[in-house]
Amino acid sequence: MSPAGSLVDSHGRTLRDMRVSLTDRCNFRCLYCLPETEAAQNFYRGRWGQMPESKPITQEWVPKSHLLSFEEIERVIKLAVRLGITKIRLTGGEPMLRQELEKLVARIAAIPGIEDLAMTTNGSLFAEKAQALRDAGLRRVSFSMDSLDRDNFKKMTGRDGLESVLKSIRLAKKIGFAPLKVNAVVIRDINDHEIESLVEFARGEDISLRFIEFMPLDSARAWQREMVVPGTEILRRLQSRFDLRLVVNENLSSTSKRWAHADGRGEIGIIAPVSEPFCGHCNRIRLTADGKVRTCLFSVTEHDLRSILRGGASDRELDRWLRGVVWQKEDRHHIGEPDFVPASRSMSCIGG
C-alpha cells in the first residue's frame, strides 16, 4: 500500500491526474466508441467480412440511483486532492448531458489544491452552457472532432453535428477557455485523409489539434490493428507538409508528443498509446459515473467505491482504501499481445 498522504503504485508511479466520468450516456454514437449505427456496423462488416466473433459489450446504461451525486463526487475529489491529485478532468459519456453541470463545476473549482480543472466534450451541447461553465470556474476544454466534412463527421459520430461542434469551439475560444484542444481519433480509410485539413483548421483558429490512435475500447469489440494509423505515420505526413518544431515537454506523464508550427500559429499533438505506449509514466486514475475506481483504461477489475461511500465509511477509511487500490495499478496495457483481454466496459463507460 502507498505511504500515508500520497497515491503511489507498486511500480513507483505517483498519481496526479483524476478523470471523473459524470455519465455513461451519450448523444453521439462514435464508431470507435459506441458503434451502434448502421454506418458504423457497415464499416466494420466491410473490414471484417462480418462482425467479429468476440462478444460485443452489452450496453446497459447505469441506473440513475447508481450515479454518484454531486456531494459524493465532491467528497471523492477532496479526498483525492488531499492525497496529491492536482489535475481533474470531467468526462463521460458526454459530460454535458449531466443536469446542472455548472453547479458541480463550481463545487470542484472551490476545492483548494486543484491546479487544473478541465473537461472533454463532443461539443454538441457546449454552446448553451459555455459562459455558465466558465463563470463556475472551468478553465480548459478539449473538444472531440474527427472530421471537417459534414458527411464524414456524421458517419463517424452517428450525428449531423459538425456545425454545432464548430460553433462551440469558436465560442470557447472567444470566452477565453485556454489552452483550447481538439482531439481527433484517426482511423484508417475513414478519416486519415483529413489529417492535413484538420491541422489547417487548427492553424486558422490558433489552437491545438491532437491526433489519437484508435484503441480497442469500442463496445462492438471490432477494433483491428490495421485500422490504427501509427503516430509516426501521421507525423511523417505532417512534416512533409508543414514546418514543425518539436516542443520540448518536461512533463514525463504527458500523453502527447507536441509540435509547434514555425510561425507559432497552432500546435499539433500526437497521442500514440498503441504504437508507442507511455504506461511507464502513467499518473492517471479514473472514477466512473457509477462510482467505480479504474486504475487503467484497460483494467479488467473495477473497485467499488460507491458501496463504500454509501456504507458510511469515514474519510480515514476511504483514504486507506484508495491508497490500497492505487497500489494495485496495472503496469501497462497488453494491446497486441496474445494475453490481451479487452476492457470490461467501452470507452463511454470508462471515461476517456
- Window 274-313: contact mask with ligand SF4 (x via CB under 6 A): ---xxx--x-x-----------xxx---------------
Site for ligand SF4 in 94-153 (CB under 6 A): 94, 122, 144
Q: Does 90 contact ligand SF4 by CB under 6 A?
A: no
Q: Does 94 contact ligand SAM by CB under 6 A?
A: yes
Q: Cell 479514473 sits at which residue?
A: 286
Among ligand SF4, ligand SAM, none, the one that 298 touches (CB under a kind-dependent 5 to 8 A) is ligand SF4
Contacts of 119 (CB under 8 A, 6+ apart): 89, 90, 91, 95, 105, 133, 138, 140, 141, 142
Site for ligand SF4 in 319-348 (CB under 6 A): 330, 332-333, 347-348
Residue 261 in contact with residue 203, Cβ under 8 Å? yes
- Note if the bond before 179 is cis, omega within 30 degrees: yes
Which of 148, 190, 155 has its CA nearest to residue 169? 148
For residues 201 and 184, give the distance between their C-alpha atoms in angstroms, rounded to a whole number: 12
Among ligand SAM, ligand SF4, none, the one that 168 touches (CB under a kind-dependent 5 to 8 A) is none
Among ligand SAM, ligand SF4, none, the one that 330 touches (CB under a kind-dependent 5 to 8 A) is ligand SF4
Residue 258 in contact with residue 246, Cβ under 8 Å? yes
Q: Does 26 contact ligand SF4 by CB under 6 A?
A: yes
> Cα 235–238–240 angle (5° rounding)?
110
Q: Residue 62 in 3-state DSSP? A: coil
Residues that bind ligand SF4 (CB under 6 A): 26, 28-30, 33-34, 92-94, 122, 144, 273, 277-279, 282, 284, 296-298, 330, 332-333, 347-348
Residues at the site binding ligand SAM, with contacts judged by CB under 6 A: 26, 32-33, 91-92, 94, 120-122, 144, 183, 185, 212, 214-215, 217-218, 347-348, 352
